[in-house]
A and B are shown apart, each in its own frame.
Chain A
Amino acid sequence: MVQLISRFEKVMVSPELQGTPLGQRVEWLFPKEVISWQLPQLKSSAQLGELSADQYSKSKRTLCILPFPGNFFKRCPGFKKGLACCNYYVLNLGLQCPMDCSYCYLQSYHNTPTTTLYSNIDSAIDELHTMFNENPLSQLRIGTGETMDSLALDSISLHNARLMEFFFDHPKWYLEFKTKTNYVDHLLDLPHRRNVIFSWSLNPQEVIDHEEHLTASLQERLNSARLCADRGFPVAFYLDPLIWHENWKDHYRQLIEQVTTTFEPHEVVQLAMGALRIQPEQRHLMRERFGMESYVTSSELLPCVTGKLRYDSHLRKELYHFVLSEFKARCSGWTISLCMETIQAWKQNYHEMPARIPELRPFFQPSQPAHR
């Protein structure tokens, strides 16, 4: 995999970070000429328009490190009317991603001309403490991979080691790192209580080559997952988004073969799948940036009840049915849930809502955290 941080052409750091461990680390990692100890003058969000294709691409090569004044902790966007929600919470420690997947949903709303990394991990951990004190009996799953890849910029921030300390002391809560990188080495030796989940979004190498630019190869992702599992970390896989393309069955079959020969079902705490979906407005930027040769821009996407564009429900059913049966054919112990899917899709594919399916119930039964 390419060294993602070497792709930054400019690194702007809040002046108050000069001399701090994070500031020193930036100086150590980046050539002096790319670092600026001044933040850009950004327009207010009301003035900001959507980024052009060039601006969006450039935002992936410009890093801005600064403290975040707002709340880090939020409920996952899957908690919406019409979708079956798996009670997931997110901790957003930055915004934008140095990798470049054609379908990335950040293209629908990211309007800042930089990749942003928040420096104040202490504030985020304070928020977690407050949440825990308000709900000491709750069992939450918290992910850091919603608005950025959980591991892509960790070699700069080292935030994940700090988070792992908190979760070591709070073993009822689960932390999930979602990634398309293979940057796990620096976390492998840290102490944990099997409540830190390393999860990968997986797709066949054909799809990775075509749509998931600058990401780790499938083999690299699986190798990293194996390393994590060998150190006792739970691992999770998301076959998401499933992307229809010529020979998709062969490619997904090979992927499933690789997963099932590398892992036993009991080693994978969650296996989920979701078919391609995008916000309608992001199609323009995607088309400008990736042309119509992309499997995503050229695909047949239709509006669904939640307003997103999705494949025809019959095609989704075919994709899900295929993946499910391929896993089950190899071992009946594999349990797969749907990610960000409609209630109708659950009923079509599983004939039940997830909270009524015994092996999925732990993920989908309502939790009682304080709502923020």
Chain B
Amino acid sequence: MKKLTHASLDLNFHPVVPWPRSLPVVTWNGLVVAGFDRASHEDAPLFEITQNRCEERALSLAESLHECHPDLGLVELGRLYVCLQRTNLFDESWSQLCALKKIRDSESHRRILERLIQTPLTFQSWANEKRVGFRDISILNSLPRLEEYAPIFLKIPDLQLSKSEGVRALELACELRLMGHSFKEIFCDQRWISHLERLRFPKTTKYDETMAATIQKLPWPRQLTSRWARHGDQGTIEVRFQIESMEAFEQTLHGLQKVSETLRKNSPWSN
């Protein structure tokens, strides 16, 4: 095992998971690829990949990075993408790294990575913790000036949202801002996602509210609960009842007949 002398930290992409203390700093042709936090200590043990052929050939830079960091999130990948661009090894390494990571090396993905690492650090930590994918944060490519959306990026980690809630909130809030809504309109203290959906889908919300109110006024039998429910593009009446006797069953059917007559006279579904 060699001792570290002059290794380059150009590729320090600040991995989230610390490199185990029991392992040496790993370099590839003088570039540190793992153990960045200890690379400044001259006495740190060093493992130089290119001088230690594992198989018939030495590992490439991309392979070395992949071996040392098999499970990178998009934020780490974004930082690594920028670091690699500072070297003259980008062209040969990036595509290979993408292939090893089983991600597509497209212009669109590159742009998402560049933009993700420009977001506030708290958002980056959230994205990393939730293991977001490219599709989850595609909205970033639609934002003309990323810094103007900072309040949204700061709000999401603050609210302890799940991954799907956070992704949904991010897209809705950014779209609303793009549509000209102010942050004052976009933010609210409680039930943020419902609030965003109401703003983003005002006609559907209004229709659902009208239908819910109409449905509530119908003469439903007492042993039955009903509500207006939305399932994607369909709004429906959901009815639930429990029957404990034949008599109760017939009573319920009789009650439903009254509802049916009311609906026939004044259908809420007519245009």
A-contact 0/1 string along B181-224, CB 8 Å cutoff: 00000000000000000001111100100000000000000000
Q: Which of A74-100 contact B (CB under 8 A)?
A: none
Encoded as 1 (CB less than 8 Å from any B CB) or 0, chain A from 267 to 296 comes to 000000000000001001001100110000
B205 and chain A: residue at smallest CB distance: A300
Which B-chain residue is minimally distant from A286 (CB atoms)? B142
Query: Which partner residue on chain B sits nearest A315 by CB separation?
Result: B203
Contact assessment for A288 and B142 in the assembled complex, using a CB-CB cutoff below 8 Å: yes
Is A284 a contact of B178 with CB atoms below 8 Å? no
Contacts of B142 in A (CB 8 A): 284, 287-288, 291
Complex contact A49–B108 (CB within 8 A): yes
A-B contact count (CB 8 A): 83
The reply to whether the CB of B86 lies closer than 8 angstroms to some CB of chain A is no
Q: Give CA–CA (A311, B178) in the complex, Å.
A: 21
Q: Are A284 and B139 in contact (CB under 8 A)?
A: yes
Whose C-beta in chain A lies nearest to the C-beta of B106? A49
Interface check A52, CB cutoff 8 A: yes
A54 located at the interface, meaning its Cβ lies under 8 Å from any Cβ of chain B in the complex: yes
**Given A47-B104, A292-B178, A312 and B235 touching (CB < 8 A)?**
yes
Interface residues on B, range: 20 to 34
A314 touches B269 (CB 8 A): yes
Residues of B within 8 A of A316 (CB): 233
SS class of chain A's interface: helix, strand, loop or mixed?
mixed
| CB neighbors of B among A10-58 (8 A) | 47-55
Q: Which of A308-346 contact B (CB under 8 A)?
A: 310-318, 321-322, 344
Within 8 Å CB of A321, what residues of B?
Answer: 271
Given A284-B141, A292-B178: A55 and B107 interface contact (C-beta under 8 Å): yes
B233/A50 in contact, CB under 8 A: no
Chain A residues, Cβ within 8 Å of B141: 52-53, 284, 288
Distance in angstroms from B107 CB to nearest chain A CB is 4
Name the CB-closest residue of B to A300.
B201
Partner of B203, one of A52, A287, A300, A344: A300
Task: Contact check, A49 vs B179: say whether CB atoms are below 8 A apart.
Answer: no
11 extra interface residue pairs, beta carbon distance < 8 Å, beyond A304-B233, A312-B204: A49-B107, A51-B107, A52-B106, A284-B138, A284-B141, A287-B175, A303-B232, A311-B233, A314-B207, A321-B271, A322-B271
Please report B residues at the A interface, Cβ cutoff 8 Å: 104-109, 111, 135, 138-139, 141-142, 175, 178-179, 200-204, 207, 230, 232-235, 269, 271
Write 12 A-B pairs (CB below 8 A) sorted by A numbering.
Answer: A47-B104, A48-B104, A49-B107, A50-B104, A51-B106, A52-B107, A53-B141, A281-B135, A298-B179, A300-B200, A302-B204, A316-B233
